[in-house]
Structure 1
Amino acid sequence: MADVGVRPARRADVAAIADIQVRAWRQGYRDIVPEPVLAEMTGPAALPVWRERWTEAATAPPSGRHGVLVAVANDLVVGFAAYAPAEDADQDPQAAAELVALLADPVHERAGHGSRLLAATVDLLREDGCATLLTWVFEEHEAMRRFFGSAGWAPDGARRSLAFPSGGSADMIRLHTDISAP
């Protein structure tokens, strides 16, 4: 049996986090995000930018309510989650948080890493007094919607459209769950 777990991200994890983000986006968004945009966001020039951003998020978060967790299997980073206070105008950032990212390496999908990351995030935010957890997903991303739905998340009616620099857009829906009680 593999030695698996979740822990706070460290500086040494940043390269793996950025690599997982790029691989997961290439696979998960290939039918949603236009190819030129996806290529720019996941290409060789983007990787150093993502590494810099994840280094800052993991080592110097803007507040104690921001965090990055990694899923590990046999000492290998196989997924990550990032969370922050909710910034949507209709949310109280003291009571609501946003799951900004939840990605597993496509090579390690369906091994429970996403579920472990989600549970650890909920536990940390609940301890911090958070009552609601939100996330935005592409409306067309059926796999992600099914994953969150199986964990008790549901759309809350909020929608937005993500405009792409090269033209076109993709609709997003906000999902939420009550984490106030175990």
Structure 2
Amino acid sequence: MTADVSARLAWPDDASSMARVQLAAWRDMYADLLSPDVLDSLDADDFAERWTAALTKPQDARMRVLVALERADVRGFAMVHPSFDPDADQVADGEVGEFVVDPAHRREGHGSRLLQAAMDTLAADRFTRVRWWIASTDDALREFVTSSGWAADGAHRELQDEAGNTVKQVRLHTTLPS
């Protein structure tokens, strides 16, 4: 017997579940980088409010959020949109802006379904190339992405939060079939 799994466009009603998944993933991913006080201060209601706004009033018509489901439970989500990098072609270059799978449900196929849905969505929006900024220390995600045909393009950046914590990222890219 197989589980009832799928991926679809996110609905505003998914925002609370997405916030829960995002908090679990951030607490897992940033446990060594951020203090427990900072991680404990993250508010699910605040995240849900932001996701509701993004789902109901996206800043670009080609900004889409997809969810990976097991039955009716959100197990992950991805946000795709035009690449806003200074060297991007706004017509040709799309981006995976967020890609989160619940740590308790990784390696169950949700990431693969979500990535395929993201690529299909970007192709439907007529992007021909896709970029993805990944934390330089996230070896598991980088391995998953490169095994799917992505490669580093040499770009890197550092992001800093209000507390001065820094996250280094590398940019990967792929070409969508025409």
* Map of 1:68 onto structure 2: 65
Of the three residues 147, 152, 156, the one matched with 1:155 is 152
* Contact preservation (8 Å) 1:130, 1:180: no
* Map of 1:23 onto structure 2: 24
What aligned pairs does 1:3-152 form with structure 2 within 5 A after superposition?
3-31=4-32, 33-35=33-35, 39-40=37-38, 42-44=39-41, 46-152=43-149
Superposition RMSD in Å: 1.6
What's the offset of the Cα at 1:45? 5.0
* Map of 1:179 onto structure 2: 176
Distance in 2, Cα, partners of 1:64 & 1:164: 28
* Map of 1:2 onto structure 2: 3
Letter in 2 for 1:3: D
Deviations 1:29-68 (A, max 9, x none): 223x3226xx43x435532221111001122212221011
Structure 2: gaps spanning 5 or more residues: none
Distance in 2, Cα, partners of 1:153 & 1:145: 9
Structure 1 residue matching 2:20: 3-state secondary structure: helix
What's the offset of the Cα at 1:165? 3.1
Structure 1: gaps spanning 5 or more residues: none
* Contact preservation (8 Å) 1:86, 1:134: yes
Q: TM-score by structure 1 length?
A: 0.90
* Contact preservation (8 Å) 1:155, 1:176: yes
What's the offset of the Cα at 1:76? 1.0
Deviations 1:108-155 (A, max 9, x none): 110111111111111111121101111111111111111111111111
Q: Percent identity?
A: 39
Distance in 2, Cα, partners of 1:103 & 1:168: 20
Deviations 1:65-105 (A, max 9, x none): 10111011111111111111100000011111111111111
Letter in 2 for 1:19: R
Distance in 2, Cα, partners of 1:43 & 1:134: 31
